[in-house]
Amino acid sequence: MQTRYEREAYQFLAVFRFLAYALAVMFTQVVPSLGVPAMPPLQLYIILATLGVYTALRVFSPLRWRERSLITYLIVLGDFLLCMLLVIYTNGLNSPFLLYSLTPIMTAALLFEEKVAISLAAIATIVLSIAHLALSQFIERFTWIMQGYNLTMLIIYTLFCFVAATVPYRINLNIRRRIEREAIIEERR
């Protein structure tokens, strides 16, 4: 049985994930100049359809984080890896899926320990930086980090990652603690 706070956390994460997916679809379909220019349309539609199914599965199958099993952490890690690979595959900092890649960080921030959320935020920033630095030397569609607005986008993405990872702990709205406290009170009754 889920508590009110647990339901609210899952609803927030589901709405954010859905809206991030909807924005990615909009950026690739309505405003194609902001989307992935070098990708064939069929490949883009396959990615969008697969991500749509994945988003629906993630929305309708919430984590069982209270179990504290290794599988729960592996699910979040798998979600994180999938999101980062998607961003790197679709042009890194110019990817329409950049906002979507924040969902595993927000999930970790709302439902797990702070060190998990901060670790994911740091890894996301480092991976994206290294991808742009390394891949810009070999792949034409990846631009050098100092070219255009890439450095600005990287700084903004880094800020968003760390804000999403730390805000629940800094403003004393740690939903996980409230859920645990409520569960202990319920158990004592």
Q: What is the pLDDT of residue 33?
A: 60
Weakly modelled stretches of the chain, pLDDT under 50: 35-36
pLDDT digits (tens, 9 = 90+) for 71-104: 888 888 999 999 999 999 988 888 889 999 999 9
pLDDT digits (tens, 9 = 90+) for 118-135: 999 999 999 999 988 888
Phi and psi (nearest 5°) for 99? -65, -35
Query: What is the distance between the alpha carbons of residues 63 and 66, in angstroms, rounded to a whole number?
Result: 9
E strand intervals along 7-56: none
Q: What long-range pairs does 83-91 form, CB within 8 A, spacing at least 24? A: 84/123, 84/124, 84/127, 84/128, 86/47, 86/51, 87/128, 88/127, 88/128, 88/131, 88/135, 89/47, 90/36, 90/39, 90/47, 91/36, 91/38, 91/141, 91/142
Give the number of residues written for the chain: 189
pTM: 0.80
Q: What is the pLDDT of residue 139?
A: 76
- What are the residue ranges spanned by the domains of the chain? 4-188
